[in-house]
Amino acid sequence: MPTNEKIIDDALGRIAAGYVFPERTAEIEGSLRRRLAEGAYDGLDGPTLCRTVTEHLQEVCPDKHLRLLWSDEPLPPARADDEGRAAFLALLRTENQGVRRVEQVDGNIGLIDIRRIADAGEGAAVIGAAMQVVAHTSALVLDLRACRGGAPEGAAMWCSYFFHDDQVHLNDIHDRTTGTTRQFWTAAHLPGPRYTDRPVYALTSATTFSGGEDVAYTLQAHGRAVVVGETTRGGAHPTARHPITAHVLVTVPTARTVSAVTGTNWEGVGVAPDIAVPADRAVDAALEAARAELLRRS
């Protein structure tokens, strides 16, 4: 059984090798090693160690994707990138590509409940089918309150439906490990009808995270959606997951997202709503706003 010191050593090695802001790694390492020398981690069981180290990591570097995590179930061996992607795609298949519910409510308003942001390849048909159901509604609500992440390519596909063509630059992702920058633009071809020139509302909560935040932030920044609900959790960095022991893994942000509109992202601050209400009131608030807007346009 690895000692707590060995777990921290291995985690720091992964952070030093991959963290998206290499200039921060010396400060991170110095902080954890100082606490290690002071005995802050002596005798801590696995779950407590992970919670404590995560708190200390985020004190020195408030990046919500930078974490030490405990798993009660044994973790699978470290996977190659293609194996990790295969596991992610398999999970999405069991969850209907992240689309939990699609419906039409009174006032000819569509509502799509999105729990994960699917891969743009395998998820395209389900996303297109959801958009087909709401194609003739007068306004649309995207419920992202329980959405905790997913694929950047899928976020770009969801956003593409709300613009006329493929000429909108959404954001860029700068990757430290490859030294590359990937641009994300609206898609030229979509498997469902575009939803343009009609009001769109994105619902958020304090647990909306990562890919869910990407959709809300991008549509808000481009003036294409009104965000309703709570400020989101604030995680904008694509992240690698590295098993350290059979039950401990470290998550290391390796890239950063930059909006083509704002020049920044939602890391650490979250997506601030345009209409601030408790998450459990967001549906009603969005429907009220949608009906008022449709009345104004009539």
- Over residues 16-31, the pLDDT tens digits come to 999 999 999 999 999 9
pLDDT band at 150 (very low <50, low <70, confident <90, very high): very high
235-240 long-range contacts, CB within 8 A, separation 24+: 235/63, 235/64, 235/65, 235/149, 235/209, 235/210, 235/266, 235/267, 236/210, 236/265, 236/266, 236/267, 237/20, 237/63, 237/65, 237/267, 238/152, 238/173, 238/175, 239/65, 240/18
Query: Which is nearest to 211 in space by CA: 97, 110, 126, 122?
Result: 97
CB of 110 closer than 8 Å to CB of 104: yes
- Let me know if domain 95-235+270-297 sits in CATH 3.90.226.10: yes
Q: Where are the domains of the chain?
A: 4-70, 95-235+270-297
Average pLDDT, the chain: 94
Task: Decide: residue 188, CB within 10 A, 0-12 exposed, 13-18 middle, 19+ buried.
Answer: exposed
**pLDDT digit string, tens, across residues 125-144:** 999 999 999 999 999 999 99
Instruction: Say if residue 145's pLDDT is above 60.
Output: yes
pLDDT at 241: 84
**pLDDT digit string, tens, across residues 183-241:** 999 999 999 999 999 999 999 999 999 999 999 999 999 999 999 999 999 999 988 88
pLDDT at 293: 98
**pLDDT digit string, tens, across residues 243-270:** 999 999 999 999 999 999 999 999 999 9
CB of 127 closer than 8 Å to CB of 118: yes
Cβ count within 10 A of residue 51 = 15
Which residues are paired to 150 by β-bridges? 117
pLDDT at 122: 94
Instruction: Say if residue 44's pLDDT is above 60.
Output: yes
Phi, psi of 282 (to 5 degrees): -65, -40
Beta strands in 225-289 (DSSP E): 226-229, 239-243, 248-253, 255-259, 275-276
Round to whole Å and give the CA distance between 127 and 161. Answer: 10
263: left (phi over 0), alpha (psi -120 to 50) or beta: left
Strands 67-70 and 99-105 come out as: unpaired
Cβ count within 10 A of residue 18 = 19
**pLDDT digit string, tens, across residues 66-95:** 999 999 988 776 655 655 678 788 889 999
